[in-house]
């Protein structure tokens, strides 16, 4: 007797010639989030969103909402595609939506960030009705899940950049929103959220959530914010997801130009194909920071008409 236990008193061995599948830990893309859309949870979330989140967001970020008239005649579920500069973007965007969208919407959230721990998965599923998606690529399981929810009447918030801006300038849009619109037939509403990075920036040191600095002060400060909604977009006949994604990005860039100038000037530049890029100049970090301009402003008046140094 060696004293070693064998099956069934111990776990069975795995054949050496077979690849062992990754365990389903119930987090990440495997997280079961259906509970967050049940009526009692939705009711509690609506109470929190309307009575706690909305006043708190307005307290730290006095918000100007523009273009909400574009939502008045939208009947079915839509895909809200927005730029992403801060963790404040999501709650602020949700609280500016009309109630018929606000309380029947899900948020596409990165599975590797918001769902990497069970407590985080539970928190974000409850507070934001978040669903996990693969942000590095278009994943069939993520796409099927989002498409099914859209077809079931749920609107969707998605950030096509795939993550928050590291320096204040936007990152290139990925094709998830365009793909879902082509697949489901639901329109995309472009959204530009302006100024949230001044309130709660992404930490440059950690690449993640903002943290207290060396003096112990948390980098949350009060600053004005604008949320601008654009006209709903639908893919043209035969238009590829790549082309439609570029059109969505151009629409968001026009909304940014509207915030930093005025509606008429932004539309004239868009018609001429002269809308300033949201991605900023291809230059050194200090030049990109300089072109971004002071807090709560859209950039230097001579960008992009001057060449980067």
What is the mean predicted confidence (pLDDT) over 121-148?
A: 88
Per-residue model confidence (pLDDT) at position 145: 92
Q: Report if residue 126 sits inside a domain.
A: yes
With a cut of 80, say whether residue 92 has pLDDT above it: yes
Average pLDDT, the chain: 83
Q: Is residue 6 part of a domain?
A: no
Residue 306 lies in a domain: no
**Is there a domain that residue 110 lies in?**
yes
For residue 240, give its domain range: 28-204+220-288
User: In 3D, which of 153, 141, 106 has the Cα closest to residue 28?
Assistant: 141
pLDDT exceeds cutoff 70 at 255: yes
Q: Residue 100: what pLDDT?
A: 92
pLDDT at 10: 65
Provide the token pair at 9: 């008193």
CATH number at residue 104: 3.40.1130.10
78 contacts: CB under 8 Å, gap ≥ 6? 101, 155, 156, 186, 187, 188, 189, 232
Task: List 298's β-bridge partners, or say none.
Answer: none
Q: Is residue 247 part of a domain?
A: yes
Angle at 193 between CA 208 and CA 306, to 5 degrees: 90
21 assigned to some structural domain: no
Q: Is residue 269 part of a domain?
A: yes
Cα–Cα distance for residue pair 263/281, rounded to 1 Å: 23
Confidence of residue 296 (pLDDT cuts 50, 70, 90): very low
Question: Does a cis peptide bond (omega within 30 degrees of 0) precede residue 8?
Answer: yes
Domain count, the chain: 1
* Helix 39-48 × helix 118-128 angle, to 10°: 80
Is the confidence at residue 23, as pLDDT, over 60?
A: no
Q: Would you call the peptide bond into 230 cis, given omega within 30 degrees of 0 as the criterion?
A: no
Is the pLDDT score of 95 beyond 90?
yes
**What does the H/E/C string look like for the chain?**
CCCCCCCCCCCCCCCCCCCCCCCCCCCHHHCCCHHHHCHHHHHHHHHHHHHHHHHHHHHHCCEEEECHHHHCCCCCCCEEEECCCCCCHHHHHHHHCCHHHHCCEEEEEEHHHHCCCHHHHHHHHHHHCEEEECCCCCCHHHHHHHHHHHHCCCEEEECCCCCCCCCCCCCCCCCHHHHHHHHHCCCEEEEEEECHHHHCCCCCCCCCCCCCCCCCCCCCCCCCEEEEECCCECCCCCCCHHHHHHHHHHHHHHHHHHHHCCHHHHHHHHHHCCCCCCCCCCCCHHHHHHHHCCCCCCCCCCCCCCCCC
**Distance, CA of 280 to CA of 304 (rounded, Å):** 8
Could you tell me if 135 and 159 are in contact, meaning their C-beta atoms sit under 8 angstroms apart?
A: no
Please answer whether residues 66 and 39 qualify as being in contact, where contact means their C-beta atoms are separated by less than 8 angstroms: no
276-289 tens-digit pLDDT? 888 777 767 767 67
pTM, 2 dp: 0.82
Tens of pLDDT, residues 202-252: 764 344 455 555 544 556 788 899 999 999 999 999 899 999 999 999 999
Of 190, 169, 179, nearest in space to 243 by CA:
179
pLDDT tens digits, 26-38: 778 889 999 999 9
Domain membership of residue 161 (yes or no) is yes
Contacts of 132 (CB under 8 A, 6+ apart): 28, 29, 31, 33, 109, 110, 111, 114, 115, 121, 142
- Provide the 10 A C-beta neighbour count for residue 219: 13
């Amino acid at each position: 007797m060696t004293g070693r236990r064998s099956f069934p008193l111990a776990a069975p061995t795995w054949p050496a010639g077979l690849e062992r599948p990754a365990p389903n830990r119930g987090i990440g893309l495997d997280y079961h989030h259906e509970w967050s859309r049940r009526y009692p949870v939705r009711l509690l979330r609506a109470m929190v969103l309307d009575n706690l989140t909305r006043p708190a967001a307005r307290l730290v970020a006095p918000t100007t909402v523009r273009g909400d008239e574009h939502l008045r005649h939208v009947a079915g579920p839509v895909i809200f595609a927005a730029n992403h500069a801060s963790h404040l973007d999501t709650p602020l965007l949700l609280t500016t939506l009309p109630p018929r969208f606000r309380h029947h919407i899900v948020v596409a959230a990165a599975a590797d960030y918001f769902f990497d721990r069970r407590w985080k998965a539970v928190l974000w599923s409850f507070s934001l009705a978040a669903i996990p998606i693969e942000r590095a690529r278009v994943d069939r399981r993520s796409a099927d899940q989002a498409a099914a929810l859209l077809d079931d009447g749920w609107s969707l918030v998605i950030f096509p950049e795939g993550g928050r801006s590291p320096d204040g300038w936007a990152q290139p849009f990925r094709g998830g929103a365009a793909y879902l619109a082509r697949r489901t037939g639901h329109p995309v509403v472009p959204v530009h959220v302006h100024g949230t990075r001044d309130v709660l920036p992404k930490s440059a040191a950690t690449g993640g959530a903002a943290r207290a600095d060396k003096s112990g002060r948390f980098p949350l400060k009060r600053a004005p914010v604008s949320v601008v909604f654009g006209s709903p977009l639908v893919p043209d006949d035969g238009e590829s997801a790549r082309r439609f994604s570029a059109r969505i990005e151009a629409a968001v860039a026009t909304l940014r130009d509207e915030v930093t100038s005025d509606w008429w000037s932004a539309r004239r530049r868009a018609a001429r194909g002269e809308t300033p890029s949201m991605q900023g100049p291809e230059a050194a970090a200090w030049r990109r920071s300089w072109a971004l301009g002071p807090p709560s402003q859209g950039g230097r008046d001579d960008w992009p008409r001057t060449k980067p140094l």
